[in-house]
Amino acid sequence: MKPKSLFLFILIIFAGLVITLLVYQKLFKSKKNSTYSESLIPQPIQTYSKLPKFDLLDINGKLQASNQWEGKILILNFWATWCGPCLREIPEFIQLQEELHSQGLQFVGIAIDEHEKVRNFATKTKINYPILLGDDPQVLRLLARLGNRFGALPFSIIFAPDGVIIHRGVGELTVDTIRTKIAALIPTSK
């Protein structure tokens, strides 16, 4: 190769390296603040602080909207027929629904289970409050947004009449806990 050609060849290689370096910096170094790299970081789920709007089918196939329970002391209970702690708390919920319904207490069960099993259990147990079917994908999002990211059961949320969450928890919800949480919301007889 002639010295002139060798010089031109080296100059082209050098220019190519400089261009490659500039392109690399432009494309990859600036990615630190890009939306792509930010999307790789798990973002916290925003949880609800009030009763959210949702529509779910009940065990009779009728669509039920959450806004029908506005103005009541609402206890949403996520449960399943295969969940032992869920089944233990339901008889107490039936009793409290009977006792305090006229004072504004409303239980609503959301069953994460097969329709037929839920319907049979609700009939056999004589559940006296609405049971909604939670097999819709929106229910998992609802669970997460209500503070239960892992979908553990039972999971219960107590809403004040203004829709504000006053209690949320995984595990059996006891009658004592319910009475304590809602005591100030129940009208006292004189």
- Residue 26 pLDDT: 63
Residues 105 and 22 in one domain: no
Cα separations in angstroms, 171 against 36, 87, 89, 136, 157? 38, 11, 10, 22, 11
Residues 10 and 97 in one domain: no
Residue 108 lies in a domain: yes
Blockwise average pLDDT, block size 10, the chain, 190 residues: 73 74 62 48 63 94 96 97 97 97 97 96 98 89 90 95 94 95 79
In one letter, which amino acid is 27?
L
Alpha helices in the chain (DSSP H): 3-28, 35-39, 84-100, 115-125, 137-145, 175-182
Residue 47 lies in a domain: no
pTM for the full predicted model: 0.74
- Residue 82 pLDDT: 97
- Residue 149 pLDDT: 87
Residues 24 and 66 in one domain: no
Residues 28 and 83 in one domain: no
In one letter, which amino acid is 49?
S
- Residue 22 pLDDT: 67
**51 secondary structure, DSSP code:** P
- Residue 29 pLDDT: 55
- Residue 9 pLDDT: 76
Residues 75 and 26 in one domain: no
| Count of domains for the chain | 2
- Residue 41 pLDDT: 47
- Residue 31 pLDDT: 46
Residues 136 and 65 in one domain: yes
Token pair 């839920």 is at which residue?
Answer: 118
Range of the domain at 169: 55-185
CATH of the domain at 173: 3.40.30.10
